[in-house]
A and B are shown apart, each in its own frame.
Chain A
Amino acid sequence: MVTTSFTPVTSLVGGAMIGLAAVLLMWATGRIAGVSGIAVRLFPPYEDREFAGRLAFVAGLVVAPVLVWLVTGSLPTQTIAAGPAVLIIGGLLTGFGSVWGSGCTSGHGVCGLSRLSVRSLVATMTFMAAGMATVFVMRHWS
């Protein structure tokens, strides 16, 4: 296990940037900044004509580290401890569950809670609890 340091200030600032992006997307396109919803709609069948905009948003997410690296000359550490098997199982569950439950951390956690949606509150409490339970089992039961 890799220990990480408590970073309240940068986390608050970064969180505010995520919030700003969610507000800007609502202002520009009138849509919820839910990454799982945006990502799954990149695949056919298409229900509307927003494909290019969604692709541009996802491209922005992917290019962001490059921009941070160009501006600051370095990138914050990223430690991925999981091996290929855990990554595949984790990825499958994350993808399936987020679409099955109509949203992930951004759609339910950020946008939904901000709209005082009860469905999103239920979803957010559930994935937080499931995430905590999973880490507990993985780290403290084995």
Chain B
Amino acid sequence: MAILVQFAIGLIFGMGLIVSGMSNPAKVLNFLDVGGIPAGTWDASLAFVMAGAVAVTFIGFRRVLKLARPFFADRFYLPTRRDIDPRIVTGPAIFGIGWGLAGFCPGPALTALGYGSVSAFIFVAAMCAGMLLARFTAHLPSLTRFVAPADPLET
């Protein structure tokens, strides 16, 4: 049952990506193209995606987190770190460059697989390789000395 619910939630998430235009790399790149503002080619739509998503999540999280526990789990698993370490800047900087190159972030890239596009498969394969490389690098003994012992993958 929990598995089926998570499938349905993934479906809603994916449909949101499609309806919002987030799954279209051309739209993402035109949003990121602030240099296109003078020419009128800038597409501000994605600011509305973010606004809609954050508004619903902000209100929804406040209500859900008042519950004693999640429906299918014993407790809530919330990120606890508050420190601003180098990785919270370098990671997103690297991710942002990849995002600006192809126009895909991880969610829309996975949804694009369902379009049956070969380009999406190439991107997702490379993305998985990059993810595993990051996880492998994060666990290297020489680096863990400098990293806080918290879960390195935690948001």
Chain A residues near B (Cβ < 8 Å): 1-8, 10-37, 39-41, 43, 52-54, 56-68, 75-82, 84, 86-115, 117-120, 122-124, 126-136, 138-140
Contacts and interface: CB of A to CB of B under 8 A. Distances in A.
B137 A100 contact: yes
Interface size class on chain B is 35 or more
B121 to A, nearest CB: 9
Contacts of B94: 93, 96-97, 100-101, 130
B8 to A, nearest CB: 7
Contacts of A63: 7, 10-11, 14, 114
Contacts of B130: 91-97, 99
Contacts of A110: 50, 53-54, 57
Contact of A76 (B21, B48, B117, B120): B21
Interface of chain A: mostly helix, strand, loop or mixed:
helix
Given A43-B128, A135-B34, 7 more contacts: A6-B43, A23-B63, A53-B2, A56-B7, A57-B9, A103-B155, A126-B89
A6 B123 CA distance: 26
Nearest to B24: A78
